A and B are shown apart, each in its own frame.
Chain A
Amino acid sequence: MKIMTCPLNGPRPVSEFHYWGEVRPMPNPATASDDAWADYIFNRNGAPGLKKEWWCHTPSNTWFIAERDTEKDVVLKTYFYEGDQ
């Protein structure tokens, strides 16, 4: 059983969580070029590696960030989002 650690609720089976994609800073739509905006809207980075991802503990609706090595399928750490850094 894979275990994910919610920063609030602690370690739980991954079946209690929902994945919501990689953290991707949104470009300013007023100033971004069409190419940059289209890249943000339509393209995703599928290459394996170290990723920052949105996850949600669904029974408590707790959203947080998981840093995950998607090549090795290892969760490195989880923490609450504190704004763009």
Chain B
Amino acid sequence: MPSNALAVSPVADLATLPDPAAQKAAVANLGIADQSLTPRHGCKGPGAAAWLENFGLPIPPLPNSWLPVDGGGLIARLGFTEFLVEGPATLIARLAAAPRSAGVYPVLRQDVALLLGGARLDELLRQTCNVNFRPLDLATRPVVLTSMVGVGVTVIPELRNGQPAVRIWGDGSYGHYLWETLLDIAVELGGGAVAPHSFN
């Protein structure tokens, strides 16, 4: 069975990190981190929800919402019958290796996955995206599928250390373009590339 895991991030040759002091300064304004190598699994179809439930996963009841997964990670419901699961490597390996039920179809998830956050995030979003994230009620755990600088993306808005943040997934083949464009804007706003743990 082919693995969804990427051996190399789509932005591995671009996502170089400055020294820790510079990262700390950047994340206060607008940090951008590469999370493309996080294990994930995608599936869709009328039987997908029941199939995932068999693994003990919680199923978000509403389309375009997400729930946390035990042991870290999340399960996002994209539309009515498609799911994106990110979590511990053991869970993702179990999902990838398990036989699929009728009405469950695999979705290849070789995404570029980014984490952006900081006080000036909204300024970046206003330049790059059509959706106004500010009125969204984060308590309802919304998932937004939209276009960002022309690339179709899945976005989860959240708060990290009291600062606005977004997790973004997009087609890995747009990784270079998405990273370079968002990083350029982040640098203009006093931010820059950071390691994912900088947001913790």
Residues of A at the B interface (CB closer than 8 Å) are: 8-9, 12-13, 15-16, 57-62
0/1 interface trace, chain B 76-97, chain A, CB 8 Å (1 if under)? 0011100000000000000000
Cβ contact within 8 Å between B79 and A59: no
Q: Tell me the B145-174 residues at the A interface (CB within 8 Å).
A: 145-147, 152-154
Cβ contact within 8 Å between A13 and B64: no
Closest A residue to B144 by beta carbon equals A9
Say whether B130 faces chain A, with CB atoms less than 8 Å apart.
yes
A16 contact from B80, B147, B154, Cβ within 8 A: B147
B79 contact from A13, A16, A62, Cβ within 8 A: A62
4 further interface pairs, Cβ-Cβ under 8 Å (given A8-B80, A59-B154, A60-B78): A9-B145, A57-B145, A61-B79, A62-B79
Contacts of B153 in A (CB 8 A): 59
Closest B residue to A60 by beta carbon equals B145
Cβ contact within 8 Å between A59 and B147: yes
Count of B residues near A, CB < 8 Å? 14
CA distance A59 to B80 in the complex (A): 14
Cβ contact within 8 Å between A59 and B64: no
Contacts of B78 in A (CB 8 A): 60
Closest B residue to A61 by beta carbon equals B79
Say whether B63 faces chain A, with CB atoms less than 8 Å apart.
yes
A-B CB contact pairs (8 Å), 12 listed? A12-B130, A12-B146, A15-B147, A16-B130, A58-B147, A59-B145, A59-B146, A59-B147, A59-B153, A60-B78, A60-B145, A61-B79
Min CB distance, A55 to chain B, in Å?
Answer: 15
Contacts of A57 in B (CB 8 A): 145
Report which residue of B78, B144, B147, B154 has the largest number of chain A beta carbons within 10 angstroms of its beta carbon: B147
Contacts of A15 in B (CB 8 A): 130, 147
Q: Known contacts being A16-B147, A59-B147, is A8 close to B152, with CB within 8 Å?
A: no
Contacts of B130 in A (CB 8 A): 12-13, 15-16
Closest B residue to A17 by beta carbon equals B147
Min CB distance, B65 to chain A, in Å?
Answer: 12
Q: Known contacts being A12-B130, A13-B130, A16-B146, is A58 close to B64, with CB within 8 Å?
A: no
Cβ contact within 8 Å between A58 and B152: yes
Cβ contact within 8 Å between A8 and B147: no
Contacts of B145 in A (CB 8 A): 9, 57, 59-60
Cβ contact within 8 Å between A8 and B63: yes
A8 contact from B64, B131, B146, B154, Cβ within 8 A: B64
Closest A residue to B131 by beta carbon equals A12
